[in-house]
């Protein structure tokens, strides 16, 4: 099936030819006709499957028939969990619609608000936004949502994970009830299905592949390694296997900076992207990584949403993800659009429980191995605590052999009572003597 057969017009087909996109992906084949038909949609699609194009292209097609919005109004609203994803979706709107008159903008926190206000003044065909900044602008009366015709929730599962559910409900309440609803998620969790029910009971449900599975083109491997040796193992693999580019995930912002410092010291050009960085610094880091000025980009889960890099060969879970769904999102940065990719995870002894959760979600086992020279020696952190509860060697029980501490405490207690009694008597005599001496 071709893009033309899906019902897309010449201006969009022309942009696709410029991009060398000759054949639609599976999610695009399923989703585009549904969106063009004006139906509500709930779609399960992994990153790298052409998900963004599956709603951006038909939205552009539908809006060509609509009169231009005016006075701060928008026709199509796309909500995303992160700044990077908002910027990526807006770039897709521009790319697919460059031969049309489609107007668009992305608004998100971490950037100056006044330039964003100016973009909204004349109204927009497509507005891509993060929930928090959108509500800020609405409260400042800089954007009107009462004429939204199409509402898209992109990566809805991650928006719920980030605690945006209340903001999403507020935004939905500001839009007209007769809008078209499109919900895209990598997983169909219970929470996602509850959210979908609030959008209506007539959603068409599709999946580009089985829900909660990873892209089959991605090779996955887990390395057993001590926590303190992870940076050294990463440096070793980068040099020994000649990795020319890798996206590394850290659980914390502080961890990002620490990893980057150690890699740079090992002569591996590295930069970071996380929530403490300004939007300008984050965009600069992403640009340097895309242009291969640096070999490694270290990111937190939140900051990495929306990172779209073609032919990214390696994704590294420096810290095992706490939630199994995050594993799917992380490794989905590689193996995109049918390309091959490798997902490497470093697992210390205390992170085994996270692997079990991931394998339960995937319903398959991941290859595990140990690199020569990096065999782990650490024991579980709760092992020493277990020993103490069993009554073996504890610092609280140290003392001289044969010394009975309880007896000592008992004697000391009696001695204290005796001393108090003597002091009381002595105090009484002293007081009497003072009184007597006062009379003389």
Domain boundaries, the chain: 10-207, 218-385
Could you tell me which of 162, 170, 152, 216 has the C-alpha nearest to residue 191? 162
Q: Which residues pair with 325 in a beta bridge?
A: none
- The sign of the torsion formed by the CA atoms of 358, 359, 360, 364 equals positive
Pairing of strands 296-299, 270-273: parallel
Q: Please provide the DSSP assignment of 278-305 as one string.
A: -HHHHHHHHHHHHTTSSSEEEE-HHHHT
Q: What's the CATH code, domain 10-207?
A: 3.40.50.300
Q: pTM to 2 decimals? A: 0.66
Q: Could you give the count of Cα atoms lying within 13 Å of 384 in the half-sphere of its Cβ?
A: 5
pLDDT in 10s for each residue of the chain, 440 residues: 889 999 999 999 999 999 988 889 889 999 999 999 999 999 987 766 788 999 999 999 999 989 999 899 999 999 999 888 899 899 999 999 999 999 999 999 888 999 999 999 999 999 999 999 999 999 999 999 999 999 999 988 888 877 889 999 999 999 999 999 999 987 777 888 888 888 877 889 998 764 445 556 789 999 999 999 999 999 999 999 999 999 999 999 999 999 999 999 999 999 999 888 887 888 899 889 988 999 999 998 876 666 677 788 999 999 999 888 788 878 878 876 567 889 999 999 999 999 999 998 888 899 999 999 999 998 876 544 444 434 444 444 444 444 444 444 444 445 554 544 545 444 444 444 444 444 43
Give the 3-state secondary structure percentages of the chain, helix then strand then coil, rounded to 5.
45, 15, 40
Q: Indicate left, alpha or beta for 373 from its phi (over 0: left) and psi (-120 to 50: alpha).
A: left
- Secondary structure of residue 434 in the 3-state scheme: helix
Pairing of strands 180-185, 41-44: parallel
What spatial distance separates the first Cα and last Cα of the chain, rounded to whole Å? 123
> Same topology for domains 10-207 and 218-385, yes or no?
yes
Q: Please provide the DSSP assignment of 398-433 as one string.
A: ---TT--HHHHHHHHHHHHHHHHHHHHHHHHHHHHH
How is domain 218-385 classified at the CATH fold level? Rossmann fold (3.40.50)
């Amino acid at each position: 099936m071709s893009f033309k057969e899906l019902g897309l017009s010449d201006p969009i087909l022309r942009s696709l030819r410029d991009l060398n996109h000759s054949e639609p992906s599976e999610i695009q084949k399923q989703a585009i006709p549904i969106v063009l038909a004006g139906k509500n949609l709930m779609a399960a699609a992994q990153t790298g499957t052409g998900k963004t194009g599956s709603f951006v292209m038909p939205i552009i097609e539908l809006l060509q028939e609509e009169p231009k919005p005016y006075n701060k109004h928008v026709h199509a609203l796309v909500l995303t969990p992160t700044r990077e994803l908002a910027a990526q979706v807006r770039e897709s709107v521009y790319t697919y619609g460059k031969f049309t008159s489609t107007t668009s903008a992305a608004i998100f926190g971490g950037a100056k608000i006044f330039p964003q206000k100016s973009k909204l003044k004349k109204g927009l065909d497509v507005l891509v936004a993060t929930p928090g900044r959108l509500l800020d602008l609405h409260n400042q009366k800089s954007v009107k949502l009462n004429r939204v015709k199409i509402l898209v929730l992109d990566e809805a599962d991650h928006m719920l994970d980030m605690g945006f559910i209340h903001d999403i409900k507020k935004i939905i309440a500001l839009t007209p009830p007769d809008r078209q609803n499109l919900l895209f998620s990598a997983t169909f969790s219970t929470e996602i299905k509850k959210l979908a029910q609030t959008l209506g009971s007539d959603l068409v449900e599709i999946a580009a592949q089985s829900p909660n599975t990873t892209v089959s083109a991605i090779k996955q491997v887990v390395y057993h390694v001590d926590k303190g040796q992870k940076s050294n193992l990463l440096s070793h693999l980068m040099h020994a296997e000649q990795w020319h580019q890798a996206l590394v995930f850290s659980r914390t912002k502080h961890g990002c900076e620490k990893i980057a410092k150690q890699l740079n010291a090992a002569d591996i050009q590295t930069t970071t992207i996380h929530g403490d960085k300004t939007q300008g610094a984050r965009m600069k880091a992403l640009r340097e990584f895309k242009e291969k000025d640096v070999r490694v980009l270290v990111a937190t889960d939140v900051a990495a949403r929306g990172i779209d890099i073609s032919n990214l060969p390696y994704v590294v879970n420096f810290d095992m993800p706490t939630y199994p769904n995050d594993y799917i999102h992380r490794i989905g940065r590689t193996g995109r659009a049918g390309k091959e990719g490798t997902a490497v995870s470093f697992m210390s002894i205390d992170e085994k429980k996270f692997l079990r959760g991931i394998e339960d979600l995937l319903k398959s086992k991941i290859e595990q191995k140990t690199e020569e020279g990096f065999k782990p020696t650490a024991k579980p952190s709760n092992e020493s605590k277990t020993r103490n509860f069993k009554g073996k060697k504890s610092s609280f029980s140290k003392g001289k052999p044969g010394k009975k501490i309880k007896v000592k405490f008992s004697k000391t207690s009696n001695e204290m009572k005796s001393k108090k009694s003597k002091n009381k008597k002595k105090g009484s005599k002293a007081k009497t003597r003072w009184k007597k001496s006062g009379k003389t």
